[in-house]
Chains A and B, each alone.
Chain A
Amino acid sequence: MKAKDILKQLITKKISVKEVTQKYLENINKKNSILNAFITVFDEDFINEQVEKAQEMINKGNLTPVVGLPIAVKDNINLKGYPTTCASKILSNYVSPYNATVVEKLMYSGAIIVGKTNLDEFAMGSSNENSYYGVVRNPLNLEWVSGGSSGGSAVAVSADMVPLSLGSDTGGSIRLPAAFTGIYGLKPTYGMVSRFGLVAYASSLDQIGPMGKDPQDLALIMQVIAGYDPKDSTSYRDITIDFINENFEPNFELDSLKGLKIGVPFKIINDEGVDKIIRDCLNEFINTLANNEIEIIEIDFPYLSYSIPAYYIIASSEASSNLARYDGIRYGLRIEHFQDKLIEDTRTLMKITRGQGFGLEVKRRIMIGTFCLSSGYYDAYYKKAQQVRTLIKQDFQKIFNKVDLIIMPTSPTLPFKIGEKINDPIKMYLSDIYTVGVNLSGLPSLNIPIKYQDFYVGVQLIGNYFKEKFLLNVANLINLL
Chain B
Amino acid sequence: MKIKEDNKLHEIQKEYDIIIGLEVHIELSTEKKLFCNCKNEFTLEPNKNVCPVCLGLPGSLPVINFQAIEYFIRFASALNCEIQNHSKFDRKNYFYPDMPKNYQISQYDLPLALKGYLFLPKANKYVYLRRIHLEEDTGKSIHIGGDNLREAHWTLLNYNRAGVPLIEIVTEPVINSPEEAVEFLYLLRLTALYTKISDVKMEEGSLRCDANISLKPKDFQTLGTKVEIKNINSFRFLYRALVYEIERQYNLLKQGKEIIQETRGWDEKTQTTYSMRSKEESHDYRYFPEPDLLPLNISKDIINNLSFKNQTPIDFYISYLKHNLTHEEILFLLDSQELNDLYNQVVNLVQNYAFNNNFNSYKEVVKFFKTDLAYLLNENLINIADLSIKNIAKIIILLVNKEINTVNLKDHLINLVKKGTDIDNYLENNNLIIREDINLVKEIVDKVIRDNPQAVKDYKEGKEKAISFLIGQAMKEIKSKAKPETVKNIILNKLANL
CB-CB contacts below 8 Å: A217-237 with B: 230-234
The interface stretch among A34-42, A125-133, A197-205, A420-428 is A197-205
Is there an interface contact between B56 and A325, defined as CB atoms closer than 8 Å? yes
Is A432 interfacial (CB-CB < 8 Å)? no
Is A324 at the interface (CB under 8 A from chain B)? yes
Selected interface stretch from B286-294, B333-341, B367-375, B467-475: B286-294
Given contacts A317-B288, A374-B286, contact A330 B100 (CB under 8 A): yes
Assuming A78-B58, A233-B63, is B292 touching A324 (CB within 8 A)?
Answer: no
CB distance from A144 to the nearest CB of B (A): 30
- Tell me, yes or no, whether A345 is within 8 Å of chain B by CB: yes
Min CB distance, A225 to chain B, in Å? 15
Closest to A326 in B: B58
Q: Tell me which of B90-98, B170-178, B394-402 binds A.
A: B90-98
Contacts of A232 in B (CB 8 A): 61, 63
Is A178 close to B, CB under 8 A? no
What's the nearest-Cβ distance from chain A to residue B372, in Å? Answer: 54
Assembled-state Cα–Cα distance A38/B70 (Å) = 48
Q: A373-B93, A375-B286 are in contact. Are A84 and B291 (CB under 8 A)?
A: no
> In the assembled complex, which residues on chain B have CB atoms less than 8 Å from the CB atom of A203?
291-292
User: From residue A387, how far is it (CB to closest CB) to chain B in Å?
Assistant: 13
Interfacial chain B residues near A198, Cβ < 8 Å? 59
Tell me the minimal C-beta distance from A370 to chain B in angstroms.
Answer: 7
Q: Are B97 and A327 in contact, CB atoms less than 8 angstroms apart?
A: yes
In Å, the complex CA distance between A329 and B139 comes to 13
Interface check B55, CB cutoff 8 A: yes
B302 at the interface (CB under 8 A from A): no
Does A324 contact B95, Cβ atoms closer than 8 Å?
Answer: yes
Evaluate contact between A373 and B288: CB separation under 8 angstroms: yes
- How distant is the Cα of A96 from the Cα of B58 in the complex, in angstroms? 8
B356-402 CB contacts (< 8 Å) to partner A: none
Q: In the bound complex, what is the Cα–Cα distance between A465 and B64 (angstroms)?
A: 25
Determine whether B455 belongs to the interface, using a CB cutoff of 8 Å to chain A: no
Report if B243 contacts A (CB, 8 A): no
Task: Say whether B95 contacts A197, CB under 8 Å.
Answer: no
Chain A CB within 10 Å, residue with most, of B150, B152, B291:
B291
- Determine whether A180 belongs to the interface, using a CB cutoff of 8 Å to chain B: no
> Which of B58, B59, B103 lies in contact with A321, CB distance below 8 A?
B103
Contact B157 A329, beta carbon cutoff 8 Å: yes
Q: Is the CB of A196 within 8 A of B57?
A: no
Q: Cα distance A98–B60 when bound, in Å?
A: 9
Q: Tell me, yes or no, whether B52 is within 8 Å of chain A by CB.
A: yes
* Residues of A173-201 contacting chain B, CB below 8 A: 195-200
Contacts of B155 in A (CB 8 A): 346
- Which chain B residues lie closer than 8 Å to A374 at the CB level? 284, 286
CB distance from B106 to the nearest CB of A (A): 13
**Chain B, 44-87, CB within 8 A of any chain A CB:** 52, 55-64
Contact in complex: A199, B58 (CB < 8 Å): yes
B-facing mask of A231-249, CB < 8 A → 1, else 0? 1111000000000000000
| Interface members, chain A 385-419 (any B CB < 8 Å) | none
Q: Are B59 and A84 in contact (CB-based, < 8 A)?
A: yes
Chain B binding surface SS class: loop
B281 CB to nearest chain A CB (Å): 13
| B351 vs chain A, min Cβ distance (A) | 52
Chain A nearest CB from B64 CB (Å) reads: 7
Q: Bound complex: CA of A321 vs CA of B101, how far in Å? A: 8
* B-side contacts of A199, CB under 8 Å: 58-59
The residues of B that contact A327 with a CB separation of less than 8 Å are: 95, 97, 102
Q: Which of B1-58 contact A (CB under 8 A)?
A: 52, 55-58
Q: Does A450 contact B (CB under 8 A)?
A: no
Residues in A with CB closer than 8 Å to B63 are 230-233
Once A324-B102, A378-B288 are accepted as A-B contacts, the answer to whether A233 and B59 lie under 8 Å apart by CB is no
Assuming A78-B58, A100-B59, A231-B61, is B294 touching A347 (CB within 8 A)? no
Are B60's CB and A196's CB within 8 A?
A: yes
User: Residue on A with the closest CB to B92?
Assistant: A321
Complex contacts, A46 vs chain B, CB 8 Å:
none
Q: Judge whether B61 and A195 touch: CB under 8 Å.
A: yes
For A233, give its contact among B56, B60, B62, B102 (CB under 8 Å).
B62
CA distance A302 to B101 in the complex (A): 38
B484 to chain A, nearest CB (A): 72
Let me know if A71 is at the binding interface, CB within 8 A: no
**Residues of B contacting A321 with CB < 8 Å?**
91, 93, 103, 286, 288
Are B101 and A325 interface neighbours, CB within 8 A? Answer: yes
Answer yes or no: B490 CB below 8 A from chain A CBs. Answer: no
Residue from B55, B97, B149, B286 having most chain A Cβ neighbours under 10 A: B286
Report Cα–Cα, A350/B149, bound state, in Å.
Answer: 12
Asked if A63 CB lies within 8 Å of chain B CBs, one says no
A331 to B97 CA separation, bound complex (whole angstroms): 12
Q: Which of B61, B149, B292 contacts A347 (CB 8 A)?
A: B149
Whether A94 sits at the interface, judged by CB under 8 Å, is yes
Q: Which of B138-156 contact A (CB under 8 A)?
A: 149-150, 152, 155
A143–B150 Cα distance when bound, in Å, is 50
Q: How far is the CB of B50 from chain A (nearest CB, A)?
A: 10
Q: Which of A358-383 contact B (CB under 8 A)?
A: 370, 373-375, 378, 382
Report the Cα distance A170→B152, complex, angstroms.
Answer: 41
Q: Is A61 located at the chain interface by the 8 A CB criterion? A: no
Chain B hits for A91, CB < 8 A: 58
| Residue with the greatest number of chain B CB neighbours at <10 A, chosen from A96, A202, A373 | A373
Cα separation A347 to B96 with both chains bound (whole Å): 9
Say yes or no for A169: interface residue by CB 8 A criterion: no
Within 8 A of B (CB), among A68-83: 76-78
> How near does chain B come to A435, taking the closest CB pair, in angstroms?
19
Asked if residues A325 and B292 are in contact (CB atoms below 8 Å), the reply is no
A324 and B105 CA atoms in complex are apart in Å by 13
Partner of A98, one of B57, B287, B293: B57
Chain B positions within 8 Å of A, measured between CB atoms, are 52, 55-64, 91, 93, 95, 97, 100-103, 149-150, 152, 155, 157, 284, 286-288, 291-294
| 27 A–B pairs (Cβ distance < 8 Å), ordered by A | A76-B59, A78-B59, A86-B58, A96-B57, A96-B59, A195-B61, A197-B60, A198-B59, A199-B59, A233-B62, A233-B293, A234-B292, A321-B93, A324-B95, A325-B101, A327-B97, A330-B55, A330-B100, A345-B150, A347-B95, A347-B150, A370-B286, A373-B93, A373-B287, A373-B288, A375-B286, A378-B288
Known: A96-B58, A98-B52, A325-B102. 9 other contacts (CB 8 A): A78-B58, A84-B59, A198-B59, A232-B61, A233-B62, A321-B286, A321-B288, A324-B95, A325-B101
